[in-house]
């Protein structure tokens, strides 16, 4: 077999079980691809020794007939996940040199199911960003380019390294995390599949916290089937995360019938934004037609508070971040500033955080501090939480009307150029998450998958939003859409 | 609501982030852009609406009030920038 790194999880798993290849060969193919892809800056800490050791163990396991779902499959792990003894910096200078003494629940579950870790993946600092341009490691680069153009494009963010690595076949799949769209937007920008499960499906334990009421981990993969396989291995109850749901994990792959006959698919009118590019509108209409052809019933719906989701998010997420990031004080782990004579503990905190946090993180921590401060707590933070209640109710109302899932664009545009947003105000960058952020605020599952290409040949994605805990049905609808769209384009190798 | 340099300096102080005085005007301007965006929330009628405390309606689990972990001093201190004699070390706090 050639080009083993180009396989997806399902194909590689089947080949392993049939004895047509080995985890060692798969892993070596990925490590070689990673070595040749420095220009993408996707893998920022490589772990080839760990990978080869795990591959050998996986091959032994498969030989004994004990091959759980992910056994022998080489994947990348977002830098936000703590991995024991392996740098886990959340893309930040403040965690330089940090070597966790423990393993995140999600990465442990993947390990337990036999997955092979190739290394850690680039991301926006503390997952705050939509272009992977706030990372201490520098930009991750999208393997896709506009036709006839060599300008470097963003792979999206914050899981930009994960998306770039999967799209460029440096790994079979990768973990991501999603607080406002950080799995789904990069997936859409790179022609890959990403699902953010229902809040509480995946344990947050050991994942560096950004905004705890919104953060969820999920898989980033090459196909919907792969997403089903990997999601199942990642989720499940964990006593170490009090918000982790004590619910049985369904067999997501077995549920992939792709039969959506009679399903009611909602099309929210508020997602038709002013100034939305025509190609995004067309992508959406094409998706609607595909779902209809597959037997679904298309229903126009209204989610009246959509417009207020981004402003509510930019109160709630910074507020939670300012609290979560208070732990980076230069005492227990990570960077500590060099102090001048006479500096006390307050100077130590202030200098450490000024040196350790990048600009966007500092800005969000301070915005969060402001909206939580005395006199503004009610006007901003409490009001945003009330609006969040209304946004969730919008979804509850349409689900109560019998809507099974909701189809929307994943992003307002195709991938943009690195540096292109440099002079824009911060709000312009925030608008990237306009279609995804409602899902985090409502705690719902959402999946992005590629269904078309822009005029310049870049991938474009649609998003399906499901009912809480109904990832199985959501993935099955996504599978139907994937089959109808038949997206097979891959980026031309230039790196 | 407009943020001036003094407010920006106060917020930076509360957040324990050192901001040089010459960076304050730009910071205040960024805050104003973001807060201007957030101001839209004022349009929403939230009369009688409860602020969300949990997105998934579930009761937090409880467990026995017993020790579940411990005796990990070395692991706890392993990543400290300055650990001495089994403790975290910080600059002098009390004269």
DSSP sequence for A144-210 = ---TT----B---SSSHHHHHHHHTTSSSEEEEEESSSTTHHHHHHHT-EEEE--TTSS--TTBPPS
| A401-423 mean pLDDT | 95
Q: Is residue B81 situated within a structural domain? A: no
Burial (0-12, 13-18, 19+ Cβ within 10 Å), B75: exposed
Interface contact B14-A339, CB threshold 8 A: no
Name the token pair of B75.
């692991």
- The 10s digit of each residue's pLDDT in B10-57 is 999 999 999 999 999 999 999 999 999 999 999 999 999 999 999 988
Within a domain: residue B90? no
Residue-averaged pLDDT of chain A = 97
Identify the pLDDT of residue A397.
98
The domain in which residue B21 lies consists of 5-43
The CA distance from A119 to the nearest CA of chain B, in Å, is 21
* Whether B52 and A365 lie within 8 Å, measured CB to CB: no
Partner residue opposite B52 with nearest CB, options A326, A357, A388: A388
User: Is B34 among the domain residues?
Assistant: yes
**Domain A4-259 class in CATH:** alpha beta
- Asked if B31's CB is within 8 angstroms of A370's CB, the reply is yes
Cα angle, residue A253 at apex, residues A248 and A254 outer, rounded to 5°? 85
Per-residue pLDDT tens over the stretch A216-243: 999 999 999 999 999 999 999 999 999 9
Q: How confident is the model at residue A456, as a pLDDT?
A: 97
**Is residue A156 over pLDDT 80?**
yes
Domain-wise residue ranges, chain A: 4-259
Count how many pairs of residues, chain A against chain B, have C-beta atoms within 8 Å.
Answer: 169
Q: Which residues of A touch B28 (CB under 8 A)?
A: none
A362 in reach of chain B (CB within 8 A): yes
Are the CB atoms for A29 and A41 separated by under 8 Å? no
Residue B68, domain member (yes or no): no
How many separate domains does chain B show?
1
Predicted confidence at residue A247, as pLDDT, reads 94
Q: What is the pLDDT of residue B1?
A: 56
Flag whether pLDDT at A301 surpasses 80: yes
Does residue B11 sit within a domain?
Answer: yes
**Closest residue, chain B, to A308 (C-alpha):** B41
pTM above 0.80, yes or no: yes
Q: Residue A2: is its pLDDT beyond 80?
A: no
Annotated catalytic residue A158: yes
pLDDT exceeds cutoff 80 at B95: no
Phi (first) and psi of residue A177, to 5 degrees? -135, 155
pLDDT of residue A30: 98
Least confident range of A17-26, A356-365, A428-437, A471-480: A428-437
At residue A248, the pLDDT reads: 95
Rg from Cα positions in chain A: 21
Q: Which of A100, A362, A390 is closest, CB to CB, to B49?
A: A390
Q: How confident is the model at residue A1 (pLDDT cuts 50, 70, 90)?
A: low
Known catalytic residue: A264?
A: no
Choose from B15, B19, B66, B73 for mutation: most chain A CBs within 10 A: B15
| pLDDT score recorded for residue A431 | 87
Say if the Cβ atoms of B55 and A370 lie within 8 Å. no
The fraction of chain A above a pLDDT of 70, given in percent, is: 100
**Which residue in B8, B76, B92 is closest to A344 by CB distance?**
B92
State the catalytic residue, choosing from A130, A131, A158, A244: A158
**pLDDT (tens digit per residue) in A88-112:** 999 999 999 999 999 999 999 999 9
Reported as a single tens digit per residue, the pLDDT across A405-415 is 999 999 999 99
Q: What is the pLDDT of residues A336-363, one digit of tens each?
A: 999 999 999 999 999 999 999 999 999 9
The reply to whether residue A334 touches residue B81, judged by beta carbons under 8 angstroms, is yes
What would the DSSP string read from start to end of A411-462? -SSSPPBTTTTTTS-HHHHHGGGTTTHHHHHHT--EEEEEEEE-TTS-EEEE
Asked if A315's CB is within 8 angstroms of B31's CB, the reply is no
- Give B51 to chain A, closest Cα distance, Å: 4
Is residue A395 less than 8 Å (CB to CB) from chain B? Answer: no
Of A3-12, A62-71, A440-449, the range with the lowest mean pLDDT is A62-71
Residues 6+ away with beta carbon under 8 Å from A106: A81, A175, A202, A203, A206, A207, A217, A234
Q: Give the pLDDT confidence score for residue B67 in this predicted structure.
A: 94
Whether B76 is covered by a domain: the verdict is no
pLDDT at A66 over 90: no
* Nearest CA-CA distance, residue A5 and chain B, Å: 35
């Amino acid at each position: 077999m050639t080009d083993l790194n180009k396989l997806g999880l399902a194909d590689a798993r089947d080949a392993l079980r049939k004895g047509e290849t080995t985890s060692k060969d798969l892993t070596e193919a990925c490590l070689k691809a990673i070595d040749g892809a420095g220009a993408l800056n996707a893998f920022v800490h490589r772990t080839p020794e760990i990978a080869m050791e795990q591959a050998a163990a996986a091959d032994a396991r498969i030989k004994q007939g004990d091959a759980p779902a992910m056994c022998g499959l080489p994947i990348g792990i977002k830098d936000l996940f703590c991995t024991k003894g392996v740098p886990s910096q959340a893309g930040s200078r403040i965690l330089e040199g940090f070597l966790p003494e423990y393993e995140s629940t999600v990465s442990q579950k993947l390990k337990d199911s036999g997955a092979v870790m190739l290394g850690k993946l680039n991301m926006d600092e503390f997952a705050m960003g939509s272009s992977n341009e706030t990372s201490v490691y520098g930009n991750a680069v999208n393997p896709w380019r506009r036709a006839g153009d060599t300008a470097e494009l963003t792979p999206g963010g914050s899981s930009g390294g994960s998306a770039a690595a999967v799209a460029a076949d440096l790994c079979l799949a990768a973990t991501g995390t999603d607080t406002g769209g950080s799995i789904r937007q990069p997936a859409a920008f790179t022609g890959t599949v990403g699902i953010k499960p229902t809040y509480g499906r995946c344990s947050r334990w050991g994942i560096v916290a950004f905004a705890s009421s919104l953060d969820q981990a999920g898989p980033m993969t090459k196909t919907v089937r792969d997403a089903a396989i990997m999601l199942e291995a990642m989720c499940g109850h964990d006593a170490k995360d009090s918000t982790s749901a004590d619910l049985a994990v369904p067999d997501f792959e077995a549920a992939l019938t792709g039969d959506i006959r009679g399903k009611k698919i909602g099309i929210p009118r508020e997602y038709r934004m002013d100034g939305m590019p025509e190609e995004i509108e067309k992508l959406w209409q094409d998706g609607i037609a595909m779902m209809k052809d597959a037997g679904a019933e298309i229903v126009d719906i209204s989610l009246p508070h959509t417009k207020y989701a981004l402003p509510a998010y930019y109160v709630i997420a910074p507020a939670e971040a300012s609290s979560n990031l208070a732990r980076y004080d230069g005492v227990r782990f990570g960077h500590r500033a060099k102090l001048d004579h006479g500096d006390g503990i307050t100077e130590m905190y202030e200098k450490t955080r000024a040196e350790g946090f990048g600009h966007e993180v500092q800005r969000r921590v301070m915005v969060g501090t402001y909206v939580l401060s005395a006199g503004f707590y009610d006007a901003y933070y409490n009001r945003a939480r009330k609006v969040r209640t209304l946004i969730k109710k919008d979804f509850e109302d349409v689900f109560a009307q019998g809507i099974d899932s909701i189809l929307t664009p994943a992003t307002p545009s195709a991938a943009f150029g690195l540096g292109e947003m440099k002079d824009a105000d911060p709000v312009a960058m925030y608008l990237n998450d306009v279609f995804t952020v409602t899902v985090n605020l409502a705690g719902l599952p959402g999946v992005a998958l590629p269904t078309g290409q822009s005029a310049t040949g870049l991938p474009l994605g649609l998003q399906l939003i499901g009912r809480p805990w109904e990832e199985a049905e959501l993935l099955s609808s996504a599978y139907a859409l994937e089959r109808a769209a038949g997206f097979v384009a891959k980026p031309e190798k230039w790196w | 609501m407009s943020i001036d340099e003094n407010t920006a300096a106060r917020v930076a102080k509360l957040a324990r982030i050192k901001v040089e005085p010459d960076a304050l005007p730009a910071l205040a301007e960024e805050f104003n852009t973001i807060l201007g965006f957030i101001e839209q929330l004022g349009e929403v009628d939230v009369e009688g609406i409860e602020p969300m405390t949990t997105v998934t309606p579930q009761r937090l689990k409880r467990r026995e009030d017993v020790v579940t972990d411990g005796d990990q001093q070395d692991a706890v201190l392993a990543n400290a920038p300055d650990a001495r004699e089994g403790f975290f070390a910080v600059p002098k706090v009390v004269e």
